[in-house]
Structure 1
Amino acid sequence: MANLDVVDALNEIARQKNLDREFVIDTLKQGLMQACKKKFGSSDNIVVEVEDDTGEIGIFAKKKVVEEVADPALEISVEEARDYLDKPKPDDEVEIIIPFEEFGRIAIQTTKQILFQRIREAEREQVYREFSSKLGNIVSGTIQQISRGDVIVNLDNTESVMPYAEQIRSERYQQGRSVRALVIDVAKTVKGPQVILSRSHPDFLKRMFYQEVPEIREGLVEVKGAARDPGERAKVAVYSKENRVDPVGACVGLKGARVQAVVRELAGEKIDIVLWSPDPAVYVVRALAPANQLESYPADDENRMVVICSDDQYSLAIGKKGQNVRLAAKLTGWRIDVVAETEHLRRVEAINKISVGLDELDISDKLKDKLAKEGMDTAEKIIEAGDEGLTAISGIGDKTAEKILSAAKQAKDKQLMHFEQLAKENPAALGTVRTPAEQDQPATDQAPGIGEPAKKPEEQAPEAVGQPEDQDSKTSE
């Protein structure tokens, strides 16, 4: 092969593999060094040079001039050195040209193998870096094949895979079809980088809105969260950093153009766009749209919100097979207990009928006897009497009255927590009658109306009762 042909071949390799030309030339040098090591046993004194302009490849062995040669690979006699130097003397250094003919076919093949192995490794590393920088972004590719349920996608000559679990179930994928998906992982494997794609991930929905809504790209509107049943329904919470910008309206677009573009990409997945609120009680109510006329309050146990709705809104709040409340729980990060208004009233009535006796109060027996004599034999009667009624009893001062009243309230709160938990796990335990809407709900592993969150809630203690307004949420049809 002519010298210039070598340069052209190296340039072509660099172009096709999208590698730096200097790296390809350096890899060739390393391959030749390895061939020298295999031929001569060492490459410590070998120098390989490649001229950029002419393509001239020179291989030189540096040898030390000595009186007696002990190692022919590293040393040369004074007499032999005269062929290279005019007046050689011991300790001089001589550079001897090694012609390609000395390597032989096997050594040349070794050089070729090393060259292509290093280039393949560099190419894989480049693919890994490229797609690692695209994590969380949407890429486009062509479906190459479908193997055991997984979809193999070609991304600019890089093979990627969309596992069955990351696909939208209602979609049908065909070979040669163009597809967009989210890069969720880039794994290093024996065969090279493995790019994992997803169309069912909630972040795919977020990135679609990022592409379709200029206000999100400009930072005026922020997507606070997303929850999906891929291909069926999704909920997105949005928030505006500018009072003049309506975040829900911005995401819906004129005549629903923006949200419909997202719906088409997601195989007709219906999307509820809700207005995010820093108040969890308000946020949970909005997340349960399209149900309205709801009230909510945080339960005493951690991370649970009780939502009370009118009987005619119960089925809407729960959704088909519990879908609406489940998505709302994923979106907000709260476990949601939806209770019909009639059942809530029955729960309260049942609890109020059960009194807390003095035995449940953390006070002395002497005080219990004194209270019993005065007719205050339950926590409810003590709370009703208050400080004024307690201090009217002989021998009970302000501090003692405060202690008794506190003990009564704690005992009552403990009872309420117990019955709330009992009602959640087994509504029939309170002797209540299930509403017709509840009876229509399928049996599940958890109490009806309970949605399990996908993440932790905002660390706030809301007190307000959430009441949605018409502009707080919109649903794509």
Structure 2
Amino acid sequence: MNAEFILALEQIEKEKGVAKDILIDTIEAALVSAYKKNFGSSQNVRIKIDRETGDIKVFSEKNVVEEIEDALLEILLEDARAKYGASIEVGDIIEEEVTPRDFGRIAAQNAKQVVVQRIKEAERDVIFSEYTNRESEIITGTVARVSKGIVYVSLGKTEGVLNATEQIPGEEFSIGQRIKAYITEVKKTTKGPQIFLSRSHPGIVKRLFELEVPEIYEGTVQINSIAREAGSRTKIAVSSVDENVDPVGSCVGPKGTRVKTVVDEINGEKIDIIKYSEDMAEYISNSLSPSKVISVEIFEAEKSAKVIVPDYQLSLAIGKEGQNARLAAKLTNWKIDIKSESQAGTSGDPSEHALQDAQIEAETEAELDENN
């Protein structure tokens, strides 16, 4: 190695961000092993690379003793004083240069391997630092390949892993397809950083709304809670810090354009946007949308509520396979017991319900169309 090699290390330092001194220290450590391997020596050696010229020297370290037991590791006191001066004492460590004639060639080969490996490690560290700070964010990538149900997404310098459990049920991918995904975790492994992605996580819905709704990005509208069953339905509760701003309307957007963009991105999944309320009875009532609610009885200690709905709204309130009630419970974090008026023994005049039936069902259908 020579001064040109030092210049090359300085260039690497500028381009890759790996300090020259760190590279040299790593090379020196590697050359100790290379020396022992090639010259079969069990002596203690130290490698020194000149930071300016690139010259390499090998030094054998020996303990100063009065009686030698191992000539490779020890030197007699009188011999040490003869070579290095009368100030040498027993217990001192002296260094003798033992640089082999053809060690430069071996050193160059090892140095190249060390530098290449260190650059790879540095690049991995940079990628890990970049993506570990982006956990819980959305990232856009391109489908690179699909293997055994796992989708590998190209993110530029690295790949993200979208496991089958993190995909939206029924979603299919094609090579080259651009997708948005939510970064759930970044791990350091022996093969470099692994970036785990999700399209089924509730967080992706939140981030998509942040991208599409300026009022959320600015902080005027806040997302208070999200409950999701990926591929089927999501409920999202929103509120506004400005009484003049309608949080639900802001998320829906003009003619439903904002919510439609989010729905399209998550493969057509239905989204119910409801208004959050500090009043738990009102909040629970809203969470069961699109169902109408007659009354809500709150039990604070148990964090449970008894909800009464019209007889003809019971199936809508509960939802297919209990989904609407289940999502409402997840959204509010309360146990919700839903009963019809008949079950609760509070039904009013049947003829009155018959007159209202057509109107309420029409309103329900209209709301479903708007939310879908």
Which residue is equivalent to 1:416? none
Q: Which amino acid aligns with 1:226?
A: I
RMSD between aligned alpha carbons? 3.7
Q: Which amino acid aligns with 1:169?
A: P
SS of 2:305's equivalent in the other structure is strand
Q: How many residues align?
A: 342
Which residue is equivalent to 2:241? 241
The residue correspondences of 1:138-157 to structure 2 (distance < 5 A) are: 138-157=138-157
SS of 1:11's equivalent in the other structure is helix
Contact residue 281 and residue 298 of structure 1 kept, 8 A: yes
Which residue is equivalent to 2:354? none
Contact residue 5 and residue 54 of structure 2 kept, 8 A: no
Which residue is equivalent to 1:47? 48
1:304 Cα offset (Å): 2.4
Q: Which amino acid aligns with 2:85?
A: K
Which residue is equivalent to 2:57? 59
Distance 1:247 1:21, change over 3 A: farther
Which residue is equivalent to 2:355? none
Cα deviation digits, residues 287-329 of structure 1 (max 9, x gap) = 1111124321135882322111112222221223322222111
Contact residue 36 and residue 42 of structure 1 kept, 8 A: no
Which residue is equivalent to 2:196? 196
Q: Which amino acid aligns with 2:153?
A: V
Contact residue 32 and residue 46 of structure 2 kept, 8 A: no
Q: Which amino acid aligns with 2:241?
A: K
Unaligned stretches of 5+ in structure 2?
Answer: 89-93, 348-366
Counterpart Cα distance in 2 of 1:23 and 1:6: 12
Structure with larger Rg? 1
Counterpart Cα distance in 2 of 1:13 and 1:161: 31
Distance 1:34 1:127, change over 3 A: farther
Counterpart Cα distance in 1 of 2:63 and 2:281: 89
Which residue is equivalent to 1:435? none
Distance 1:44 1:99, change over 3 A: closer
Percent identity between matched residues is 38
Q: Which amino acid aligns with 2:236?
A: V
Contact residue 270 and residue 475 of structure 1 kept, 8 A: no
Q: Which amino acid aligns with 2:51?
A: V
Which residue is equivalent to 1:169? 169
- Asked if 1:325 corresponds to 2:325, the answer is yes
The residue correspondences of 1:309-320 to structure 2 (distance < 5 A) are: 309-320=309-320
Counterpart Cα distance in 1 of 2:67 and 2:101: 25
Q: Which amino acid aligns with 1:35?
A: A
The residue correspondences of 1:139-288 to structure 2 (distance < 5 A) are: 139-288=139-288
Distance 1:127 1:175, change over 3 A: same
Contact residue 221 and residue 241 of structure 2 kept, 8 A: yes
Distance 1:172 1:243, change over 3 A: same
Distance 1:475 1:289, change over 3 A: farther
The residue correspondences of 1:80-119 to structure 2 (distance < 5 A) are: 89-91=85-87, 96=97, 98=99, 101-102=102-103, 105=106, 109-119=109-119
Q: Which amino acid aligns with 1:32?
A: L
Q: In terms of mean alpha carbon deviation, does 274-283 or 184-193 score higher?
A: 184-193
Distance 1:30 1:210, change over 3 A: farther
SS of 2:291's equivalent in the other structure is coil
Counterpart Cα distance in 2 of 1:95 and 1:187: 46
Distance 1:336 1:280, change over 3 A: same
Counterpart Cα distance in 1 of 2:101 and 2:264: 63
Which residue is equivalent to 1:297? 297
SS of 1:255's equivalent in the other structure is helix
Structure with a larger share of its residues in strand: 2
Q: In terms of mean alpha carbon deviation, does 198-207 or 308-317 score higher?
A: 308-317
Counterpart Cα distance in 2 of 1:273 and 1:80: 90
Q: In terms of mean alpha carbon deviation, does 257-266 or 184-193 score higher?
A: 184-193
Counterpart Cα distance in 2 of 1:99 and 1:269: 71
The residue correspondences of 1:288-437 to structure 2 (distance < 5 A) are: 288-299=288-299, 302-345=302-345
Distance 1:42 1:113, change over 3 A: farther
Q: Which amino acid aligns with 1:144?
A: A
Which residue is equivalent to 1:426? none
Counterpart Cα distance in 2 of 1:169 and 1:18: 42
Q: Which amino acid aligns with 2:29?
A: Q
Contact residue 34 and residue 111 of structure 1 kept, 8 A: no
Q: Which amino acid aligns with 1:289?
A: S
Counterpart Cα distance in 2 of 1:64 and 1:320: 82
Unaligned stretches of 5+ in structure 1?
Answer: 82-87, 348-471
Task: State TM-score, norm by structure 1.
Answer: 0.61
1:154 Cα offset (Å): 2.0
1:132 Cα offset (Å): 1.8
1:99 Cα offset (Å): 6.2
Task: State TM-score, norm by structure 2.
Answer: 0.77
Contact residue 186 and residue 194 of structure 1 kept, 8 A: yes
The residue correspondences of 1:118-137 to structure 2 (distance < 5 A) are: 118-137=118-137
1:122 Cα offset (Å): 4.2
1:165 Cα offset (Å): 0.8
Q: Which amino acid aligns with 1:240?
A: S
SS of 2:182's equivalent in the other structure is strand
1:171 Cα offset (Å): 2.1
Cα deviation digits, residues 335-375 of structure 1 (max 9, x gap) = 2221111221179xxxxxxxxxxxxxxxxxxxxxxxxxxxx
Contact residue 209 and residue 251 of structure 1 kept, 8 A: yes
